[in-house]
Amino acid sequence: MTARHRPLNPRRITVLAYHTFTQLVRMKVFYFLGAFAVILIAANFLRLPTHAAPEAVGVQLLYSIKSSCAGAMTLFSIVMAIVATGLLLPKDVEDRTLYTILAKPVPRLDYLLGKFFGVAALIFVSLLVMDLLMTGALQLRMGGVLEQQRAAGEAFGHPPEMIEAQLAETRALGPTWALQGAVFVIFLQSVVIISVALLLSTFSTSTLFTAIVGFLVVFIGFFQADAREAYFHGTGVLGKIGSAIMTTALPDLQLYKLIDAVIEGRPLEAFDLLKVTGVTLFYFVVYTFVSWLVIARKEF
Amino acid sequence: MEPAVEIENLTKVFPAHFGGRPVRAVDRVSIRIEPGEVYGLIGPNGSGKSTTMKALLGLVAPTSGTCRIFGADSLAVDSREQVGFLPENPYFYKHLSGAETLRFYGKLCGLRGKSLEARVDELLELVDLVEARDRRLGGYSKGMLQRIGLAQALVQEPRLVILDEPTAGVDPIGSRQIRDLVLALRERGITVFLCSHLLEQVQEVCDRVGIIFRGRMIREGRLEEMLSIEDQTELVLRDARPELVEEIRRLIEAADGAELVRAGRPRTTLERLFLRETVDRNE
Ligand SMILES: Nc1ncnc2c1ncn2[C@@H]1O[C@H](COP(=O)(O)OP(=O)(O)O)[C@@H](O)[C@H]1O
Ligand SMILES: [Mg+2]
């Protein structure tokens, strides 16, 4: 018999991913989380315009919309990535549905990847919805700000070039491509976290354990670059190796902080985006590989 | 022809947990099942039936020995192409309906399109769940779950079906439905490997049985050979007048060497009575 059922069959992974996606969508617990995030973002449509000094207020307003939306998206994506992923495997083991799946010609790697892509797809779609809402809110509120600024400029008798320059500056704070890039970076961050949670759930049997350790890893992830700097600074080759091991074992999430920079209105360099994408792929491949090693030997 | 199941000297030792002793769940068990046979593994709880089946499906790795399905090693994914499995007390995804469940497992086996839909319809018909096809499994009864599980195991038309306690926790009507399904599988030449601690049901469907106890195979053989009492003959009469019975009695007494062990009315089983008074009444 030839090896017809090699791992990494795209169709089989899609079937499993689609199933995971449906499973999570039909799990009503996550509706609350999603609704909460959406309300947080949609609230930006409703806030009343202020009548204070237009330059400062306009900028402040757009910044606060962006940061609150990005905050909601980040929080949602992290919680989803950890909790949803942490739920899946222990549930399959406990309910013995895993037996029925692995008793079909399904390689264990494909099973893992199906779970991964299912959660990733759900987060991607949710972020897309939130992104649309955020962009709509920004667009609307920016229109108001621009009008105010134009009126104020004209009242002060500023020359048209100066007014235009100011308006252009304001537009850079609105819905830009860089902002879309930042949302993509939020997604990439959740890809890393899903990979971590998946790895954790291959050797834990409880969702609670996965969730707690998962949040801990994320928390450390945001600070580990500083810790590494402090700990391994000037320790030579050995230090470099130790530092490399630490960044691989625990994901360095400081890289993903470029979201904040974009929100403050700084442009997103193509190189940075590429770098973050590369790092994300690295973590995804390493963690999935280790997950596979664990689950390939596991007995149920 | 290649045997459907070939288990050779299977031993499975589970490592010790929290200071306990290692568990030798299966101890040098060998089973060979020819294509088309219905084989029953019987034994009390904890005697290693499920572990043997899991090893055959590659869900646990043997400590020593080998398992093969139609010649393919159980640890290889390919061996699972020709096998359907119904685990003990299965729970399927509650968020899926009956039809969705079968579609999901069918797609995992590479089925799709019209042939998949046709297969789903056919299976729902077979296990008598057409009415419940669009209901979520969360609302299924135990017997319905067991039947959807059986349908799931059959989805890619495997040549071998492995059933772990298929009738445990199912009421007599449900378990008769399952028994009939197993008999239907045998008609179609599908090999069935089932295990149970409910002996009567094994007796009704199996060609060959193995008795496993504390991980060891105690006895194995064809059912009728194992059960027939060599030196006895049974005679069941209908509408026999008492005079006829008396006459037979006298003949036996007159004959040399033969002895009447027991005479009287054969009893039906409670299960048969139950079925006669419930289901069969409406039929
Ligand atoms: N994963 C496991 N870890 C440790 N012991 C196990 C495991 N699975 C089964 N056992 C033990 O192996 C023995 C046989 O179990 P099992 O095969 O489930 O029996 P049966 O199906 O005949 O009731 C039991 O003593 C059980 O406790
Ligand atoms: Mg069992």
Distance CA B245, CA B260 (A): 12
Closest to B201 in 3D by CA, of B228, B154, B234, B168: B168
The vertex-B66 CA angle with B64 and B70, nearest 5°, equals: 170
Per the model's pLDDT, the better-predicted residue between A188 and B16 turns out to be A188
Q: Give the pLDDT of residue B259.
A: 83
Answer yes or no: is pLDDT of B38 > 80.
Answer: yes
Residue that is written with structure tokens 């108001």 in the block: A144
Contact B205, B182 (CB under 8 A): yes
Answer yes or no: is pLDDT of A201 > 70.
Answer: yes
Please state the pTM of the whole predicted model.
0.88
- Express as a percent the part of chain A with pLDDT over 90: 41
Q: B90-147 pLDDT, tens per residue?
A: 889 999 999 999 999 999 999 999 999 999 999 999 999 999 999 999 999 988 999 9
Q: Give the pLDDT of residue A180.
A: 92
Q: Give the pLDDT of residue A51.
A: 54
Q: B142-174 pLDDT, tens per residue?
A: 889 999 999 999 999 999 999 999 988 888 888
Task: Check CB contact under 8 Å for A100 and B71.
Answer: no
Mutate to test the pocket of ligand 1, among B51, B54, B193 (most ligand atoms within 8 A of CB): B51
Per the model's pLDDT, the better-predicted residue between A226 and B11 turns out to be B11
User: In chain A, where are the structural domains located?
Assistant: 3-296
Which amino acid does the sequence have at A69?
C
Q: A131-173 pLDDT, tens per residue?
A: 998 999 889 888 888 888 888 888 888 888 888 888 888 888 8
Which of A155-159, B40-44, B172-176, B261-265 has the lowest average pLDDT?
B261-265
Q: How confident is the model at residue B232 (pLDDT cuts 50, 70, 90)?
A: confident
- Express as a percent the part of chain B with pLDDT over 90: 58
The encoded tokens of residue A121 equal: 């797809």
Closest to A146 in 3D by CA, of A162, A164, A128: A164
Pairing of strands B83-86, B5-14: unpaired
Q: Give the pLDDT of residue A49.
A: 56
Q: Which runs of consecutive H residues, i.e. helices, occur in chain B?
A: 49-56, 98-108, 113-126, 142-153, 172-187, 199-205, 223-227, 242-254, 270-277, 279-282
Answer yes or no: is pLDDT of B282 > 70.
Answer: no
Task: Check CB contact under 8 Å for B80 and A103.
Answer: yes
Q: Would you call A103 exposed, middle or buried from its count of C-beta atoms within 10 A (0-12, 13-18, 19+)?
A: buried
Q: Give the pLDDT of residue A52.
A: 54
Contact B175, B201 (CB under 8 A): yes
Q: How far is B244 from chain A (nearest CA, A)?
A: 58
Residue that is written with structure tokens 């999430």 in the block: A253
Q: Give the pLDDT of residue A205.
A: 77
Residue B110: closest CA among chain A residues belongs to which residue? A12
Q: Which runs of consecutive H residues, i.e. helices, occur in chain A?
A: 10-26, 29-46, 54-94, 97-102, 108-156, 160-171, 177-203, 207-232, 236-249, 258-263, 270-297
Q: Give the residue whose CA is nearest to atom 7 of ligand 1.
A: B14
Q: Give the pLDDT of residue B150.
A: 93
Q: Give the pLDDT of residue A61.
A: 83
Residue that is written with structure tokens 């419940």 in the block: B132
The encoded tokens of residue B258 equal: 């033969």
Q: How far is A190 from chain B (nearest CA, A)?
A: 25
Distance CA B174, CA B127 (A): 11
CATH number of B5-227: 3.40.50.300
**Radius of gyration in angstroms for the set of CA atoms belonging to chain B, rounded to a whole number:** 22
The encoded tokens of residue A193 equal: 């976290």
Task: Check CB contact under 8 Å for B57 and A103.
Answer: yes
Answer yes or no: is pLDDT of B84 > 70.
Answer: yes
Q: Give the pLDDT of residue A2.
A: 43
Q: A57-105 pLDDT, tens per residue?
A: 677 888 888 888 899 999 999 999 999 999 999 889 888 899 999 999 9
Q: Ligand 1 in contact with B87 (CB < 6 A)?
A: no
Per the model's pLDDT, the better-predicted residue between A47 and B193 turns out to be B193
The encoded tokens of residue B53 equal: 């089946």
User: In chain B, where are the structural domains located?
Assistant: 5-227, 242-282
Distance CA B141, CA B146 (A): 9
Q: How confident is the model at residue B187 (pLDDT cuts 50, 70, 90)?
A: very high
Contact A252, A225 (CB under 8 A): yes
Q: How far is A39 from chain B (nearest CA, A)?
A: 27
The encoded tokens of residue B233 equal: 């003959």
Q: Give the pLDDT of residue A55.
A: 56
Q: Give the pLDDT of residue B279.
A: 67
Q: What is the mean pLDDT of residues A186-208?
A: 92
Chain B stretch 164-183, residues whose beta carbon is closer than 8 A to a beta carbon of chain A: none
Q: Give the pLDDT of residue A226.
A: 78
- Reported ipTM: 0.87
Q: Give the residue whose CA is nearest to atom 4 of ligand 1.
A: B14
Contact A175, A183 (CB under 8 A): no
Q: Give the pLDDT of residue B153.
A: 95
Task: Pick A107's closest partner by Cβ from B77, B90, B92.
Answer: B77
Answer yes or no: is pLDDT of A54 > 90.
Answer: no
Contact B25, B215 (CB under 8 A): yes
Q: How confident is the model at residue A1 (pLDDT cuts 50, 70, 90)?
A: very low
Query: Which CA distances in Å does B72 have to B5, B57, B149?
Result: 10, 11, 24
